[in-house]
């Protein structure tokens, strides 16, 4: 396989988002393993609500969909809001419906790494569970390891997620090389 393209989607509109930092760490781990990467977070996924019959997508949505179409693997990260993923991330994933008629619709055949951050373990775990369900619906293959980060757990909770993030990156790359 040529250099795989890993695309990360998620985060929040805050510049200091812990979810965006976790996505950056995941992309850095895949880069160390030979991937090229694209991060789509914050304003890059802040679209109007998905409407199936809306007509031509905006330039931002068209760029998002073109990037998804070019991806070999996906990483999705979401903050846990009230026990599930954020509306920003869910709406971006809803826009993946624009690939429904493609030769490779949705995330068909792609490994998908998942990261959930929240100010507590319960919300992080339920958010991760919700993300897994969405990835299955989009025909993707969630990696065996999913990352949960409790953002209220000490001064630098992301630092403790380093080894699991490296493991997730390795699982994605292994899936791609075996495919």
Mean pLDDT value across residues 73-96:
96
Sign of CA dihedral 27, 153, 133, 145: positive
pLDDT value at residue 155: 67
Instruction: Give the separation between CA 20 and CA 18, rounded to whole angstroms.
Output: 5
Domains and their CATH numbers in the chain: 5-178 (3.40.50.360)
Per-residue pLDDT tens digits for 109-152 = 999 999 999 999 999 999 999 999 999 999 999 999 999 999 88
pLDDT at 152: 83
Q: 147-159: per-residue pLDDT in tens?
A: 999 988 776 767 7
| CA dist 69 → 90, 118, 162 (Å) | 18, 29, 28
Task: Count helices and strands (H / E) in the chain.
Answer: 6, 7
Cα angle 71, 17, 73 (rounded to 5 degrees) comes to 15
> What is the Cα–Cα distance from 135 to 108, expressed in whole angstroms?
10
In tens, the pLDDT along 17-73 reads: 899 999 999 999 999 999 999 999 999 999 999 998 888 999 999 999 999 999 999
């Amino acid at each position: 396989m040529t250099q795989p393209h890993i695309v990360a989607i998620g985060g929040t509109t805050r510049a200091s988002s812990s979810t965006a930092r976790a996505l950056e760490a995941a992309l850095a781990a895949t880069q160390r393993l030979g991937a090229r990467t694209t991060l789509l977070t914050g304003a890059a996924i802040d679209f109007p609500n998905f409407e199936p019959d809306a007509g031509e997508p905006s330039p931002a949505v068209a760029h998002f969909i073109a990037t998804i179409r070019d991806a070999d693997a996906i990483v999705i990260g979401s903050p846990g809001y009230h026990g599930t993923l954020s509306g920003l991330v869910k709406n971006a994933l809803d826009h993946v419906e624009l690939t429904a008629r493609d030769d490779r619709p949705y995330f068909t055949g792609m490994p998908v790494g998942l990261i959930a951050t929240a100010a507590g373990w319960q919300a992080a775990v339920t958010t991760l569970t919700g993300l897994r369900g969405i990835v299955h619906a989009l025909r993707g293959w969630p990696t065996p390891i999913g990352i949960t980060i409790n953002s209220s757990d000490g001064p630098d909770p992301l630092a403790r997620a380093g080894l699991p993030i490296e493991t997730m990156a390795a699982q994605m790359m292994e899936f791609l090389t075996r495919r």
